[in-house]
């Protein structure tokens, strides 16, 4: 009986990790397109980035995926934070959800960034330990001091974890 519930939990966490990773990555692609930032590198690296984010969610170590927009003048804005929170053991019969309506509504108000703007993905973690992932190395998030912050709300959820979005602009 115990091994069965552990197996179900592990499978559910894997499905949740894949679901949240897909919604986060898809949202990042939509944001880059809306802002007019080239997505060629993003889609070239999709598989490795998806795998890293999914693995970190599955192990419960990922805290935030940040999308930083680096402008040619050296400023960094906007910055999108995709925060992941965990509910160990699941939340009853909670279903997989995705609700990017609030994010899409906000994105419609975004101005394109200047030509030559690039992006960077930076992850932060709940603890000092997290697994190493191909294509990822330690880094620190750019300062968002002086930027206005807006909470967009829940982006996606599933048993064991939820992703929410904040925007610094």
DSSP for 34-53, please give it.
HHT---HHHHHSHHHHHHHH
How many Å apart are CA 103 and CA 48, to the nearest integer? 24
- Answer whether 126's CB lies under 8 Å from 63's CB: yes
- Answer whether 158's CB lies under 8 Å from 84's CB: no
- Answer whether 60's CB lies under 8 Å from 10's CB: no
Rounded to two decimals, the pTM is 0.88
User: Interhelix angle for 2-35 vs 46-59, to 10°?
Assistant: 140
Please state the rounded mean pLDDT for residues 34-61: 96
Question: Would you say residue 98 has pLDDT above 80?
Answer: no
Summarize pLDDT for 99-108 with one digit per residue, the tens.
Answer: 777 777 777 7
Summarize pLDDT for 112-161 with one digit per residue, the tens.
Answer: 899 999 999 999 999 889 999 999 999 999 999 999 999 988 888 888 89
Average pLDDT, the chain: 88
Q: Domains of the chain by range and CATH?
A: 2-140+147-168 (3.30.900.10)
Q: What pLDDT shows up at residue 93?
A: 46
Q: What pLDDT shows up at residue 97?
A: 65
């Amino acid at each position: 009986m115990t091994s069965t519930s552990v197996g179900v939990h592990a499978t559910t966490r894997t499905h949740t990790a894949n679901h949240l990773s897909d919604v986060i990555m898809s949202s990042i692609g939509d944001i880059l397109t809306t802002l007019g930032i080239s997505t060629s590198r993003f889609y070239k690296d999709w598989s490795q980035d998806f795998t890293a984010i999914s693995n970190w969610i599955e192990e419960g170590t990922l805290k935030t995926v940040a999308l930083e927009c680096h402008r040619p003048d050296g400023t960094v804005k906007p910055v999108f934070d995709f925060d992941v929170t965990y509910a160990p053991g699941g939340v009853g019969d909670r279903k997989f959800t995705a609700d990017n309506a609030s994010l899409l509504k906000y994105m419609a108000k975004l101005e394109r960034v200047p030509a030559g703007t690039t992006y960077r993905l930076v992850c932060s973690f709940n603890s000092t330990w997290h697994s190493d992932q191909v294509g990822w190395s330690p880094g620190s998030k750019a300062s968002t001091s002086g930027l206005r912050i807006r909470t967009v709300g829940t982006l996606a959820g599933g048993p064991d974890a939820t992703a929410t979005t904040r925007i610094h602009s």
